[in-house]
Amino acid sequence: MEFIVLIVLPAILLLLGVPIFVALIASGAVGLFALGLGSLTQMHQALVGNVDSFPLLAVPLFILAGELMGRGGIARRLVDWVQSIIGGVRGSMALTTIGSAELFGAMSGSSVGCVAAIGRLLMPSLTASGYSRTFAGSLIGSSGCIATIIPPSIPMIIYGVAAQQSVPKLFLAGIVPGILIGGLVSIYLLWYARRNNIPAIGSTSFAKFLAATRHAFWSLLAPVVVLGGIYGGVATPTEAAGVACIYATFIAMFVYREMSVAQLIETILDAGKLVAQILIIVAAAGTYSYVITTSGMPAKLVAFIQDQQLSLWTLLLVINVILLFVGSILEPPAAILILAPLLVPIVGAAGMDQIHFGIIVTVNLAIGMFMPPFGLNLFATHALFGVPMTALYRGVLPFLAIYFLALMMLTYIPALTLLPLTIMGVK
């Protein structure tokens, strides 16, 4: 009965095109009464209680910070700074896309925001450098996912809340995966540029680097302010997100003077719309998670998995396949809130480090963001730059292969994610 109500029912509703938050509330309500787990009072408490969380407040703040940085001239100066370092190298514009995504991700944590901010700046330059629109769009769509992995990451915040794990530790564990994926993609881009005879664009020199650094000084301080405050123990992720919003507003309006009061209000309203879409899912998932937990389904699932006597290697392979499938259909916040109550007890019973598992979840769902046919970044790239969806489906395949390689490395070599925690003495 639990399987039908809690797994089959929401799956059918989603396939029918019912909005995610409606499917979750409906499934939770049906389960609540069909399984005799409580009344509307418990449902109301679960709805409200799931968003009444101080760590979760970091999500809307980081989204707003990302929008402010993208529209206030900060992102553009970061792109120019990266180009000053690698200009003149064959394939430098593609490498600039990866480097800019890493830097923008270290300030915002928003994948779609990264696609929009970095893509608008670099799409014309990529096509002018000799890359096809399909390749450029595929690169931008896949690069945006790095912002989901490199800290501060919104999915990591939501996983930390859902699994009751330390968000700063998750951020530390996300450093190596973000750099690893960027490095692997960069190797491929260098090979691609040489194989396709992409010309070297621009040049670099120490003088140009110094000039770009002066020009981008306040932009480069943004990730230092955000991550330095968290890792230095000065601020929680939520407080650091608030500081990032204030910093970005001040720089955009009074230092770079690229944002008026009217534009600030417009940016806040646009960010608010995106936040509302996420938090209504978070609230709805509260009822669903409450019903799953109180039904005893996670314990039954753990017992079933244990009865199969799967090795940890096989278990992780199965979980990766499930996460990739779900991640290609649902946005990361919804996927985490639905799956965390089911998967966290399973990996806990298997003796797996749950910080490491949080990184596996994050990387899987990041890949799902540009995985055909429903990856959100693919739709964003199509909408922003007009690249046909069928062309994007083909274009992202090499990047999917690279991300899959990184995922396998991160899954089966825990030291890659846990090394920063060990160095900092918090493991």
CB neighbourhood size of 350 (10 A): 17
For the chain, give every domain's residue range.
54-424
The rounded radius of gyration (Å) of the Cα atoms in the chain is 22
Distances in Å between the alpha carbon of 272 and those of 310, 345, 386?
44, 34, 26
With CA atoms as reference, report the closest residue to 374 among 393, 349, 399.
393
In angstroms, the CA 289 to CA 28 distance is 8
- Listed in sequence order, the residues at least 6 apart from 372 whose beta carbon sits closer than 8 Å to its beta carbon are 328, 378, 392, 393, 396
Bridge partners for 200 per DSSP? 90
Q: What is the pLDDT along the chain (427 residues), one digit of tens a residue?
A: 677 777 788 878 877 878 878 888 888 888 888 877 777 777 777 777 767 777 778 778 888 888 888 788 888 888 888 888 887 788 888 998 999 888 888 777 677 778 877 888 888 888 888 899 999 999 999 998 888 898 888 889 899 988 889 989 999 999 999 999 999 999 999 999 999 888 777 677 788 889 989 998 998 888 888 878 887 778 888 888 889 899 999 999 999 999 999 999 999 998 888 788 778 877 887 777 778 777 777 677 767 777 777 788 898 998 998 888 888 777 788 788 888 888 888 888 888 899 999 999 999 999 988 888 767 788 778 877 888 888 998 999 999 999 999 999 999 999 989 988 888 877 6
Contact status, residue 181 vs residue 410, Cβ threshold 8 Å: no
Q: Which residue has the tokens 């973000």?
A: 178
| Nearest 10 degrees: Cα torsion 19, 20, 25, 30 | 90
Give the side-chain half-sphere CA count within 13 A for 414: 14
